[in-house]
Structure 1
């Protein structure tokens, strides 16, 4: 019972702080409190710590040279304050894995969790840092230059940021499991590989889906390709992608890909 109370209190403090810093909307704050409470009460330091590492690092990255990114962020479906949909899109699968592990502990579930959280972290870092690249990104499909902020674009800076984000989660997982070793069967070095490889592959899966399946619109006023249904104060026209495949759905699917890659890494290690 006390785990639930402490988890709620800690999550409420962190989420409210993010709400005051305008990193979360009201719905996003409530979703973060719910998620954080479950992670703390049903998981260990590894589970709650990784969630916190993702959330804090992503919030920091979103404020790096924020004014320089405002022009590009206007093209995104959701910008600035994360709402409940974004919170669950980034951490919802991890929460389900945390519950599954509490019911039936398995190294495979731990690997999937590390891969999932490494992916959402890598993708967030790539988006926030990659948009600051001095050179235009290239399409992950055609390798042609495309405008900064376009879904499916990749750059050297963004790729390096993605790799660092995935490795960061791997390092956190290794550190937390070393401090509180309850996940027997997963060597410390393997956490680094699962985070690095799973996160990087998952981030590229996100880019590929962004360039193919994600719904995109064109603003009739400025002519830009955007993720939003409105831009420049007018309704945009759908030009490609599945109507239901927005950024949140892309995050869900790409994080599953990252989790699967981490499981494969675990399997190849003979665990």
Structure 2
């Protein structure tokens, strides 16, 4: 019955997201599978955190500002998530759900909070940071960068990252309680989400500034993530060729999970 409930809930949420154009068709199918596993192999705690990330990030992605279309043209992926983005953001969490189902341990929950705090913090930082009136600065050198540049950070974006991570941590306490689990201390969970999310979000920026694959537009000369820009294919510019945006998300999520786990030993 739990698997049936999970599948039904996943179909409703993913179907609504597809209708609202927050998910592509492949993204919808991946979200249905993922949501089913989160609830079927886990419970309301795991599924609720996934839902909180997805709903909040989808709502923020709909924020409009004058430069959004121009900025999205530089990204490898846009606000409408495909299967690759769905798995990059929720795949590690799904693995932790399954590990907990096979071998229940408290550490899986903290790793999960850190992973989901990271993807939430990173998404919130990107969406809010691009609204900032001042341009971002390089996370490595402090040099002013064009809005939307990989490796750029801003004060509004950093505050948004902190808020997103803290929300995941705080919500995990409530979701553990309503799911029949014995919740850890509220402040501990909130701190795990906050620090895990910030660590993962900053790791994402550092990877973006160093080893993420970046391409160069052959028309305007701008360095972008996208494979096409100004209507033409881009060419490789720098970074590890395999380290695309999805790989960066996965690596930074692992780091965020480890930081949240370390917080649990405080």
Matched, 1:264 2:233: no
Hey, what's the Cα distance between the residues in 2 that align with 1:240 and 1:65? 31
Show the counterpart of 1:219.
Answer: 217
Cα shift readout 1:196-225 (whole Å, capped 9, x = no counterpart): 000011100000001111000111211211
Q: 1:239 aligns with which of 237, 240, 245?
A: 237
Paired residue total: 266
Counterparts of 1:2-151 in structure 2, within 5 Å, are 2-65=1-64, 68-151=67-150
TM-score (norm 2): 0.97
Cα shift readout 1:44-64 (whole Å, capped 9, x = no counterpart): 211000000000000001001
Show the counterpart of 1:252.
Answer: 250
Hey, what's the Cα distance between the residues in 2 that align with 1:170 and 1:56? 16
TM-score (norm 1): 0.96
Contact 1:138 1:144 in 2 (8 A): yes
CA RMSD of the aligned region, Å? 1.1
Farther off after superposition, 165-174 or 229-238: 229-238
Unaligned runs of 5+ in 2: none
Hey, what's the Cα distance between the residues in 2 that align with 1:106 and 1:262? 15
Cα shift readout 1:42-85 (whole Å, capped 9, x = no counterpart): 11211000000000000001001255411111100011310000
Aligned with 1:145: secondary structure? coil
Hey, what's the Cα distance between the residues in 2 that align with 1:20 and 1:118? 26
Q: CA deviation at 1:177?
A: 1.4
Hey, what's the Cα distance between the residues in 2 that align with 1:183 and 1:232? 54
Hey, what's the Cα distance between the residues in 1 that align with 2:7 and 2:62? 26
Unaligned runs of 5+ in 1: none
Aligned with 2:133: secondary structure? coil
Hey, what's the Cα distance between the residues in 2 that align with 1:101 and 1:187? 20
Contact 1:174 1:189 in 2 (8 A): no
Hey, what's the Cα distance between the residues in 2 that align with 1:73 and 1:178? 39
Aligned with 2:264: secondary structure? helix
Contact 1:178 1:188 in 2 (8 A): no
Contact 2:139 2:151 in 1 (8 A): yes
Runs of 4+ that moved beyond 4 A = none
Q: CA deviation at 1:183?
A: 4.5
Matched, 1:179 2:199: no
